[in-house]
Amino acid sequence: MDEAGKIRLDKWLWQARFFKTRSLAAAVVKGGHLRVNGNRAGKAAQFVRPGDVLTFSQAQSVRVVRIVAIGLRRGPAPEAQMLYDDLAPPPEPETKTFVSPNPRYEGKGRPTKRDRRKLDLNGGQALE
């Protein structure tokens, strides 16, 4: 860590537990998938300081975080969450409707061969 309160970008991402290894963090930066204060980060060795805003994609969401502090080590998750403020809006709850790939059978137990044929003819609708 530098005395001026700066740290390498890949090292901070690793310490804040956004990436499992520094190599993965460096690969995201090198690939041009990370922005620092709205500008594309050029290299993993770029220095960041508290107050900088980072924007990058992680899994299936876009993360926007403001650096609050510079870590001294890669500690446990609660300690890592103290290093940043999450500025991204909370994810919307997904409402999934379950659609069974199997046809419905309203009888008891397993349908017979005759019942299965009727289900196939009716397009998976309940038997009468």
Which residue ranges make up each domain of the chain? 7-86, 100-128
Ranges of H-type helices in the chain: 9-15, 22-30, 77-80, 113-121
pTM of the predicted protein model: 0.68
**How much is the pLDDT for 25?**
93
d(CA 34, CA 54): 7
Decide if pLDDT at 2 tops 60.
Answer: no
User: Per the structure block, which two tokens stand in for 97?
Assistant: 């409707």
Q: Please provide residue 16's backbone torsions phi and psi, each rounded to the nearest 5 degrees.
A: -80, 5
User: Per the structure block, which two tokens stand in for 12?
Assistant: 């901070």
Local structure of 57: helix, strand or coil: strand
Local structure of 79: helix, strand or coil: helix
Decide if pLDDT at 77 tops 50.
Answer: yes
The residue whose two tokens read 């196939």 is 120
CATH class of the domain defined by 7-86? alpha beta
76 vs 58, higher pLDDT: 76
For residues 42-52, b (16+ Cβ closer than 10 Å) or e, as one string?
eebebebeeeb
**How much is the pLDDT for 118?**
85
